[in-house]
Structure formats: structure tokens, C-alpha cells
């Protein structure tokens, strides 16, 4: 969903920071002030950097539910690539469901993965991202 993020940020004159451990090549965001941050190896190195640097009103796009919860705790907004907005009302249930799924997988039960991102998901994502960014800009 990077291109969608770049499109919204470019339209609104915002910077995008892409954080990773360098395991996948990523080109710099084509935006003024956009940048790539490469962190060290480690299970949560990128997540830790994001949480350390995120501020209230920032928007984190992530499929990682624990990272979303950590960002919400810092006053930031969090959005999944499928367009689901994480908030105080739904993040606890999502964390619990994630833990149940992990336990089932560890017990050998196939739980499946997320559905592929189709046009409808991309549309939901763009709409949700625009709404979160606009709310942040208004200070909501």
C-alpha cells in the first residue's frame, strides 16, 4: 500500500517514513521530506524504532496488530492495509484473536491467512487513510 500512502501524502504535502531492516529493497518515497530508515536486525527492531519516534497525530500503516496497539498507546493513529482503522475499541479484541490464532497454529491447526488485497480493499484503505490524515491535520 506504499503507493497509496505516497499518493495521499503527496496530495496533502506530508512526508512518509518507511522503516525496515533492509531485508527487502525499498526505493525512497517520491516526496519532499520522505525517507527510508533502515534499522538493525532483530524481531522487533523496526517496530521499536517506530514506537520510539511516532507522535500523537501521526499515522502508522501496519498489518502488525501489536505494533498498532503500541502506536495507539502513544496517541498515534493506526491503519491496517485492508483499510481497518485500529482504535481503543477494537485493538484489544484483535490482540486476543491474534493470540488465539497463534495458539491454534502452534497446535497444528491451519488458520489460513489474510485474504488478498483486492480493489475494494484498496479503496477502503485509501478512504480510511485520507480520513485519518485529515482528522490528524484538524487535530481530532
**How confident is the model over 5-44, as pLDDT tens digits?**
999 999 999 999 999 887 777 777 888 888 999 998 888 9
**Structural domain tally of the chain?**
1
- 135's enclosing H/E stretch is helix 119-138
Q: What pLDDT, on the 0 to 100 scale, is given for residue 29?
A: 80
Residues forming beta bridges with residue 37, ordered by sequence position: 19
Task: Evaluate if pTM is beyond 0.85.
Answer: yes
Q: What pLDDT, on the 0 to 100 scale, is given for residue 114?
A: 77
DSSP state of 23: S
Range of the domain at 40: 2-138
Cα-based distances in Å from 56 to 33, 72, 140: 19, 9, 10
Cα 63 to Cα 82: distance, rounded to the nearest angstrom: 8
**CA 50, 30, 40, 98 torsion-angle sign:** positive
pLDDT per position as a tens digit, 64-123: 999 999 999 999 999 999 999 999 999 999 999 989 988 888 898 887 777 788 899 999
Q: What pLDDT, on the 0 to 100 scale, is given for residue 140?
A: 61
Amino acid at each position: 500500500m506504499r503507493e497509496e500512502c505516497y499518493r495521499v501524502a503527496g496530495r496533502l504535502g506530508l512526508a512518509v517514513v518507511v522503516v525496515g531492516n533492509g531485508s527487502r529493497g525499498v526505493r525512497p518515497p517520491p516526496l519532499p521530506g520522505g525517507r527510508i530508515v533502515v534499522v538493525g536486525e532483530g524481531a522487533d527492531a523496526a517496530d521499536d524504532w517506530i514506537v520510539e519516534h511516532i507522535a500523537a497525530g501521526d499515522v502508522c500503516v501496519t498489518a502488525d496488530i501489536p505494533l498498532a496497539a503500541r502506536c495507539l498507546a502513544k496517541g498515534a493513529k493506526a491503519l491496517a492495509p485492508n483499510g481497518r482503522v485500529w482504535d481503543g475499541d477494537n485493538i484489544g479484541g484483535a490482540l486476543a484473536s491474534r493470540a488465539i490464532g497463534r495458539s491454534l497454529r502452534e497446535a497444528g491447526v491451519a488458520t489460513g491467512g489474510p485474504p488478498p488485497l483486492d480493489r475494494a480493499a484498496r479503496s477502503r484503505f485509501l478512504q480510511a487513510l485520507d480520513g485519518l490524515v485529515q482528522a490528524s491535520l484538524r487535530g481530532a
